[in-house]
Amino acid sequence: MPATSVSYKCPNCSAPLSFQPGHDKVTCEYCGAELDIAAVDQLFQAKQEMAAREREAQEAKWDTDNAGSDWDSNESAALKAFTCSSCGAELICDENTMATECVYCGNPTMIPKRFDGMLKPDFVIPFKKTKADAVAALKKFYEGKTLLPAAFTANNRVEVIQPMYVPFWLFDTNLEGHATFRAQKIHVVDAGREIIKTTSVFNVERGGNMKFERVPVDGSKKMNDDFMDSIEPFNYKDLVPFSAAYLTGYLADKYDVTAEQSAARADQRVEQTVKEVLAAAVKGYDTVEEQSCAVIKNDGKVSYALVPVWILTTRYNNQPYTFMMNGQTGKVVGSLPYDSTKALLYPGGIALVVALVAFFLIGMLI
């Protein structure tokens, strides 16, 4: 968590510092380090500046008000909505598309309702991968899975795999990143009867300006974030201005996480990258430990986009198992059940084969 206030601590051991009357230096009572008053003032002035930056970083907000737009009457009239009676997922499609089953839980009952309450996307990445591509990828995904139950693949209905546009908020920003690190150089000398170890401690600062474009955060609670992270990245160069024509024959998930609610995850992704970049710039030390990091957004634009995903959810033993494929790049991810009987027999089968081979080799040697 960012530090927005400053405490006077020893730069060597981080113990609290206190000024002793009658001394012209500040001495750490724990490690014995002596610091000039001027050096302490200089050190903690930098810390105060960092604390001010971190307060500013906490106050910086994304501009989420301009993400998406309103549908016109003709566009909204051509759309319809379906709600899953089991998990509550709400899917949008054009008037000629039928939602046959829920892509999230596999429930076959979808209840039609009036379309309303959704912003119009700013952009869309059109599907590049066909249904044939998705079916082939799913069959290949099953190959070589020794412990996969036979009944699962036999009743999987791979042809029911559905294309769906997933809602994403895309965050753009120009920012300043500032970080401080506690770095050490360790020098060891073998003096014969004893080994002398000298540790030098440094307060290192790094900072810079960075530009981020299209930082993605999915806008669906139903969509598994780990799955979506796994099939990323999408190539955002293929983004085109949204048209309702792209929904013809396709489903679209209705976002249930707003741009404002998604901002925290965008901050997390941006800040992690900034920390990694600044830490990579600290070189020539034996150990490096981050002390503080402030990320200040100079602007924060957000746009709303739909990205393409092929998805199939199959229920097995009353549990949903999901397969997804990036509808642009073909990257796949999925969850699979395992056959507990096979799992018990599989190690025994391997052990039997090994034992037979060993017996055969011993017989050959005799």
- pLDDT at site 156: 65
Residue-by-residue DSSP string for 99-148? --S-TTT--S-EEEE---S-PBPSEE----S-HHHHHHHHHHHHTT-TTS
Q: How many CB atoms lie within 10 A of CB 249?
A: 11
Arithmetic mean of pLDDT, 274-298: 91
- pLDDT at site 5: 43
Q: What percent of the chain has pLDDT over 90?
A: 29
Q: For residue range 72-100, what is the model confidence (pLDDT) as tens digits?
A: 888 888 888 888 888 888 888 887 776 66
Arithmetic mean of pLDDT, 127-154: 84
- The Cα 268–Cα 273 span in angstroms is 9
Q: Is the pLDDT of residue 293 over 70?
A: yes
- pLDDT at site 77: 82
Q: Is the pLDDT of residue 350 over 80?
A: no
Q: What is the largest CA-CA distance in the chain?
A: 91
Pinpoint the alpha helices (H) of the chain: 37-59, 73-77, 131-142, 150-154, 225-231, 259-280, 340-365
Arithmetic mean of pLDDT, 239-249: 90
- Are residues 161 and 311 in contact, defined by beta-carbon separation less than 8 angstroms? yes
Arithmetic mean of pLDDT, 258-277: 92
Range of weakest confidence among 6-15, 173-182, 237-246: 6-15
Arithmetic mean of pLDDT, 291-307: 89
Arithmetic mean of pLDDT, 183-200: 88
Q: For residue range 202-230, what is the model confidence (pLDDT) as tens digits?
A: 889 999 999 999 999 989 888 888 888 88
Q: For residue range 300-341, what is the model confidence (pLDDT) as tens digits?
A: 899 999 999 999 888 778 888 888 899 999 999 988 887 666
- pLDDT at site 29: 72
- The Cα 111–Cα 105 span in angstroms is 14
- pLDDT at site 173: 92
The answer to pTM > 0.85 is: no
- The Cα 170–Cα 175 span in angstroms is 16
Q: Is the pLDDT of residue 1 over 50?
A: no
pLDDT band of 186, cuts 50, 70, 90: very high
Q: How many CA atoms lie within 13 A of 91 on its CB side?
A: 32
- pLDDT at site 21: 57
